């Protein structure tokens, strides 16, 4: 009984995704790649793709540096600022997005790439902090102290002892930060201006009319494959460590 129920639930979860992927390769029942060709020929798609990619890379870069430094400081000093980093994780995106829009509006900050990037770094810093902190939980100061006692200086110790210990956490956090930024829709829409469009915004602008089209399926399939690849990398990184 329970087996059949569980099977049905997994069918419910994966049938729509399988349907999108399958129909992006089909034209009247026969295999085709023409929907993908159409996607790659569309200038707007290419533009949105590069916007999304640059945004995700930049926000990952800055948030990993800020968040990792804070997580390291927390592990070493146990300062009581931890809860500052939890609010952005639990607050719904739309509340965060509208507050940032008001902030930019008050400052007359121009809306576009930079306003979106600054917003993405904000939520990513919090996620990076939480993940790296969790991965550094088994951290032992004595290993660093051993390195210092054996004659390595602070910088050598940091580069050759501390950083390698923190690396699995940093990689995991980078993958999550990249995904969150790459997929983000609500915060991007609220803080962007004319001329800066990302892939999720492009999908939204077509899907909101309730129209399912084969080329939109192809675009969705490409994005699904990227998400699944990132998830796979994450699973590889996090299981390797154990």
Partner 1 sequence: MRYFAYPAIVYLIIFFYLPFFIVVLYSFGFPNFDLKYYFDVMKPIYFKVLLDSVILASITTVLCFLIAYPVAYYIALRAKRWKNFLLVLIILPFWISLLLRTYAIMSILSPLGLMFTFAAVVIGMVYDYLPFMVLPIYASLEKIKRAQIEASFTLGASPWRTFIKITFPQSMPGVVAGVILVFIPALGEFVVPSMLGGTYTTIGTITWDLFLRYHDWWRGSAISIIYMTIIFAALAVYMKKAGRIEI
Contact set for partner 1, span 122-141 (CB under 8 A): 122-123, 125-126, 129
Structure tokens, 62: 């800055």
Out of 83, 164, 208, 242, the only residue in the binding site for partner 1 (CB under 8 A) is 208
- Of residues 38-97, those binding partner 1 (CB under 8 A): 66-67, 69-70, 72-74, 76-77, 79, 81, 84-85, 87-88, 90-96
Closest contact distance (angstroms) between CB of 3 and partner 1 is: 7
Residues in contact with partner 1, shown as a per-residue x/- string from 10 to 39 under the rule CB under 8 A: x-xxxxxx-xx--x----------------
Q: Cβ of residue 146: shortest distance to partner 1, in angstroms?
A: 18
Distance in Å, CB of 43 to partner 1, minimum: 22
- Token pair, residue 45, equals 């798609």
CA distance 74 to 85: 11
Alpha carbon distance 237, 242 (integer Å): 10
Among 27, 207, 236, 241, binds partner 1 (CB under 8 A): 207
Spell 43-64 as b/e; 16+ CB within 10 A means b.
Answer: eebebbbebbbebbebbbebbb
CA 77 from centroid of its chain's CA atoms: 28
Enumerate residues 137-196 that contact partner 1 by CB under 8 A: 179, 183-186, 189-190
Give the separation between CA 10 and CA 215, rounded to whole angstroms.
Answer: 26
Question: 241 by DSSP, 3-state: which?
Answer: coil
58 vs 203, which CB is nearer to partner 1? 203
Question: Cβ distance 116 to 62 under 8 Å?
Answer: no
- CB of 104: closest distance to partner 1 in angstroms? 9
């Amino acid at each position: 009984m329970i087996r059949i129920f569980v099977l049905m639930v997994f069918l419910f979860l994966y049938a729509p995704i399988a349907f999108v992927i399958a129909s992006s390769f089909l034209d009247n029942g026969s295999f085709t790649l023409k929907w993908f060709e159409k996607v790659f020929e569309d200038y707007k798609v290419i533009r949105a793709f590069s916007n999304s990619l640059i945004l995700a890379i930049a926000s990952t870069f800055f948030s990993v540096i800020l968040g990792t430094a804070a997580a390291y400081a927390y592990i070493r000093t146990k300062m009581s600022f931890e809860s500052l980093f939890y609010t952005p994780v639990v607050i719904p995106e739309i509340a965060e997005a509208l507050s940032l829009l008001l902030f930019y509006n008050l400052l007359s900050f121009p809306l576009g790439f930079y306003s979106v990037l600054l917003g993405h770094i904000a939520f990513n810093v919090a996620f990076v902090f939480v993940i790296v902190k969790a991965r550094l939980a088994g951290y032992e100061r004595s290993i660093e102290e051993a390195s210092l006692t054996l004659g390595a200086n602070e910088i050598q110790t940091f580069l050759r002892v501390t950083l390698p210990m923190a690396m699995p956490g940093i990689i995991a956090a980078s993958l999550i930060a990249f995904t969150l930024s790459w997929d983000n829709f609500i915060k991007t829409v609220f803080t962007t201006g004319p001329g800066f469009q990302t892939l999720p915004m492009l999908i939204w602008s077509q899907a909101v009319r309730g129209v399912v089209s084969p080329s939109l399926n192809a675009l969705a399939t490409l994005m699904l494959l990227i998400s699944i690849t990132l998830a796979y990398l994450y699973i590889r990184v996090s299981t390797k460590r154990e």
